[in-house]
Amino acid sequence: MLSELHRLSSFLFVVTEPSRVHTVEKVMAKFKTQVMDRINSFQPGVVHGDINEQNILLSIDSTQSPREQFSILDFGDSQHSRLIFDLAIAITYMVLQTRDLDTGGYVLAGYNKVRKVPYNELNVLQICIMARLCQSLVLGLYTYQEQGSSNPYVLGTQDAGWNLLDTLESYQTKDLIMKWTQIGRDLDTFDEQE
């Protein structure tokens, strides 16, 4: 739950590199001021809370219509929260899966077809993604180190996750949002040509 990011400080002892600890602390501070201090300005709703590649089933059957069917699994983290958090979580894991920052633009474009993301939420999307990355990275390390997990999934995002966090930190929010919204405009232009 992104709204519980402040609790992450209790688990930072598992991160051994001081620069990474500093990065997580910066993200936590920004998230508090940019998101949590203005939480009531973001649209509330029921969210899945853990949209990732492990929780999406896709079936492609060329003999049936529609040809693609999908399902979402694992509603254990569902809750009443802010809709922008679900979008941020989905983008986080889709970008990690593809290792391509442009994927965020495709996810945003698809999401915008169903729910137009308000400007104030677009402005916090980057920090929400970074916050989810921090949760995933730190809690993954904690689970692995402190609980003796033998599950490789727990550490699966470590290298790519820290790299993505560094990449996101290097972007100005307006530049990242411009990059992603341009992908959406390009897709709309493509759709009009068909």
pLDDT score at 82: 87
Average pLDDT over every residue of 91-114: 92
pLDDT of 191 higher than 70 = no
Give me the active site residues, please. Answer: 50
- Return mean pLDDT, the chain: 83
* Residue among 8, 50, 14 nearest 29 (CA): 8
Q: pLDDT tens digits, residue range 31-85?
A: 999 999 999 998 777 554 556 565 555 566 666 665 565 555 454 565 556 889 9
pLDDT category, 140, cuts 50, 70, 90? confident
**Into which CATH architecture does domain 2-188 fall?**
Alpha-Beta Complex (3.90)
Domain assignments of the chain as residue spans, ordered by start: 2-188
pTM: 0.81
Span 3-29, pLDDT tens digits: 899 999 999 999 999 999 999 999 999
Distance from the Cα of residue 132 to its chain's centroid: 6
